[in-house]
A and B are shown apart, each in its own frame.
Chain A
Amino acid sequence: MSTYPTTVPPTRPELSSQGPKSRPARWIELATSPDHKVISLLLVSAAFGSIFLAALELLLTRAQLAIPENVFLNAVTFDRLLSVYGTTSIFLIALPLVLGLLYYVVPLQIGARGTALPRLGQIGLWLFIFGGFLLYGSFLFTPPEAGINPLPPFSELAFTPNNGVDVWIGATGLVTLGLLLVAIDLITTLHNLRAPGMAWRRAPFFAWAARIVTCLFVVVAPIFLAAITMLMLDRRYGGGFFAGSEGGSPILWQHFSNIFFTAVYMIVAVGFLAAIAEIVQTFTGREIQGRKTVIGSLVAIAVVGTLAWTQNMVTAPIPSGWKYYGMIMSIALIVPVGLIFYNLISTVAASDFHMRAPLRFALGALSLASLGLAVEVIHSTVAIGTQLSETYDAWAATHFALIGFVLFGGFAAISYWYPKMTGVQLNEDRSRISFQVMFLGAVVALLPLFAAGLEGQVTDAYRFYGDQGVDVWNLIASIGTLILFVGVVLAVGNLIKSREEEPAVTPDPWGGDSLEWLALSPPPAHNFDVLPDVRSTRPMRDIREAVRRRDSEATAASESQPVA
Chain B
Amino acid sequence: MAPVLLPRSRKPVSLLTALAAALVGLAASATPAMALSLNPEAGSPGIEKVNTLHWILFVVLVIVVVAVNLAILRAARPRTRHHVRAEGKAPSQLKVGIGLGVVAVAIFVTATVFSDKSREVPASVQTVAGLDQGRPLPIRTTGQQWLWRFDYPNGAFSYRRLVVPTGVTVALGLRSIDVVHGWNVPSLTGKAQAVPGKTNTVYFRADEEGVHKGRSSVLNGQGYSTMQIEVDVVSPQEYESFIAQQKADIQDAQDTVEKEIASN
Contact = CB atoms under 8 A, between A and B. Distances in A.
Contacts of A554: none
26 contacts: A11-B1, A244-B196, A315-B182, A315-B217, A324-B112, A328-B108, A331-B111, A335-B100, A338-B100, A346-B90, A348-B72, A348-B75, A355-B12, A370-B64, A371-B27, A375-B61, A378-B58, A381-B57, A384-B53, A386-B118, A387-B54, A440-B19, A440-B22, A461-B215, A511-B4, A551-B1
Contacts of A448: 30
Interface string B17-57: 00110110011001001100111000000010110011001
B23 A443 contact: yes
B16 A315 contact: no
Given A154-B180, A354-B8, A461 B34 contact: no
A460 interface: yes
Interface in B195-238: 195-200, 214-225
B76 A75 contact: no
Given A4-B7, A251-B195, A355 B221 contact: no
A327 B6 contact: no
A510 interface: yes
Given A363-B20, A454-B39, A456-B215, 4 more contacts: A245-B197, A315-B190, A350-B87, A456-B184
A439 B118 CA distance: 38
Contact of B197 (A154, A250, A348, A374): A250
Interface in A21-74: none
In this complex, the interface size class of chain A, counting residues with CB under 8 Å from chain B, is 35 or more
B81 A355 contact: no
Contacts of A377: 57, 61, 107
B263 to A, nearest CB: 37
A387 B50 contact: yes
Interface stretch (A133-141, A145-153, A203-211, A222-230): A145-153
B193 interface: yes
Give the top 3 A-B pairs by smallest Cβ distance, nearest first: A244-B197, A511-B3, A317-B200
B259 to A, nearest CB: 35
A154 B57 CA distance: 35
Given A327-B108, A345-B72, A348-B75, A147 B9 contact: no
A464 B225 contact: yes
A461 B225 contact: yes
B154 interface: no
Contacts of A367: 20, 23, 68-69, 72
Nearest to B223: A75
A456 B222 CA distance: 20
Given A151-B180, A244-B198, A387-B47, A341 B68 contact: yes
A463 B225 contact: yes
A391 interface: yes
Contacts of A251: 195, 198
A345 B77 CA distance: 12
Interface stretch (A101-109, A194-202, A266-274, A285-293): A285-293
Interface string A424-455: 00001000100110011001000110110011
B179 A153 contact: yes
B191 interface: yes
B128 interface: no
A315 B107 contact: no
A275 B30 CA distance: 32
Interface of B: 1, 3-4, 6-10, 12-13, 15-16, 19-20, 22-23, 26-27, 30, 33-34, 37-39, 47, 49-50, 53-54, 57-58, 61, 64-65, 68-69, 71-72, 74-76, 78-79, 81, 83-85, 87, 90, 93, 96-97, 100-101, 103-104, 107-108, 111-112, 114-115, 118-119, 145, 174, 178-180, 182, 184, 186, 190-193, 195-200, 214-225
Contacts of B215: 456, 458, 461
Contacts of B180: 151-154, 250
Choose among B20, B84, B193 the residue with the greatest number of A CB atoms under 10 Å from its CB.
B193
Choose among A146, A324, A348, A378 the residue with the greatest number of B CB atoms under 10 Å from its CB.
A378
Interface string A381-393: 1111011111100
Given A390-B182, A454-B39, A544-B1, A383 B49 contact: yes
Contact of A386 (B38, B64, B190, B198): B190
B179 A355 contact: no
Choose among B15, B58, B85, B115 the residue with the greatest number of A CB atoms under 10 Å from its CB.
B115
A390 B68 contact: no
Given A349-B85, A355-B8, A378-B54, A249 B191 contact: no
A355 B84 contact: no
A346 to B, nearest CB: 6
Contact of A315 (B22, B192, B224): B192
B96 A342 contact: yes
Contacts of B27: 371, 447
B90 to A, nearest CB: 6
A146 B219 CA distance: 7
A118 interface: no
B1 A548 contact: yes
A327 B7 contact: no
A458 B65 contact: no
A358 to B, nearest CB: 12
Contacts of B15: 432, 436
Contacts of B10: 3
B158 to A, nearest CB: 22
Contacts of B220: 154
A311 to B, nearest CB: 11
B189 to A, nearest CB: 9
Interface string A342-373: 11011011111011100010011011101100
A244 B69 CA distance: 48
Contacts of B191: 315, 386-387, 389-390
A5 interface: yes
Nearest to B174: A317
B6 A354 contact: yes
Contacts of B76: 348, 355, 363
A335 B102 CA distance: 9
B90 A383 contact: no
B1 A293 contact: no
A461 B111 contact: no
A5 B7 contact: yes
A451 B37 contact: yes
B65 A374 contact: yes
Given A328-B108, A364-B16, A293 B75 contact: no
A374 B119 contact: no
A244 B195 contact: yes
Contact of B224 (A75, A355, A510): A75
Nearest to A333: B104
A350 B85 contact: yes
Nearest to A443: B23
Interface string A245-282: 10001110000000000000000000000000000000
B197 A331 contact: no
A245 B115 contact: no
Contact of B19 (A147, A439, A469): A439
Contact of A79 (B23, B26, B219): B219
A76 interface: yes
Contact of A547 (B1, B8, B101): B1
B64 A374 contact: yes
A405 interface: no
Nearest to B64: A374
Contacts of B195: 244, 250-251, 316-317
